[in-house]
């Protein structure tokens, strides 16, 4: 069974990077910088199920949870692949 710590670290890093990208894109740049759509893909996917009328802070919670779950899943998959190739 793979360890969960690398997946959690990947998820926390993904949330931090996603929040930094959101803050920079929201406050400092008047256009979408390259890579923003890729970095925040899990959060944008989670937000796609909600309407424009949803309150900002509710969207921010969904954004953070989407980033966490997306990057946790990615970290878990990569960890399993790494462990499987390491055993061979």
Is 55 inside any structural domain?
yes
DSSP 8-state class, residue 31: S
Is 62 inside any structural domain?
yes
pLDDT tier for residue 51 given thresholds of 50, 70 and 90: confident
Is 0.75 surpassed by the pTM of this model? yes
What pLDDT, on a 0 to 100 scale, did the predictor assign at position 47? 92
Alpha helices, DSSP H, located in the chain: 5-27, 36-39, 41-47, 56-87
d(CA 67, CA 45): 9
The phi and psi torsions of 53 (rounded to 5 degrees) equal -80, -5
Instruction: Tell me the pLDDT tens digit for each residue of 70-88.
Output: 999 999 999 999 988 988 7
Residue pair 64/43 in contact (Cβ under 8 Å)? The answer is yes
Please give the structure tokens belonging to residue 43: 């959060």
Please give the structure tokens belonging to residue 65: 């949870």
Q: What share of the chain in percent tops pLDDT 70?
A: 98
Domain count, the chain: 1
Question: Structural domain of residue 73, as residue ranges?
Answer: 5-83
d(CA 6, CA 62): 23
d(CA 81, CA 88): 11
Is 63 inside any structural domain?
yes
């Amino acid at each position: 069974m793979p360890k969960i710590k690398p997946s959690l670290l990947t998820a926390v890093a993904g949330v931090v990077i996603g929040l930094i990208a959101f803050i920079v894109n929201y406050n400092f740049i008047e256009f979408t910088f390259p890579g923003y759509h890729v970095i925040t893909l899990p959060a944008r996917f989670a937000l796609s199920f909600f309407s424009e009328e949803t309150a900002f802070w509710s969207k921010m919670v969904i954004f953070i949870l989407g980033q966490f779950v997306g990057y946790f899943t990615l970290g878990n998959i990569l960890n399993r692949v790494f462990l499987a190739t390491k055993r061979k």
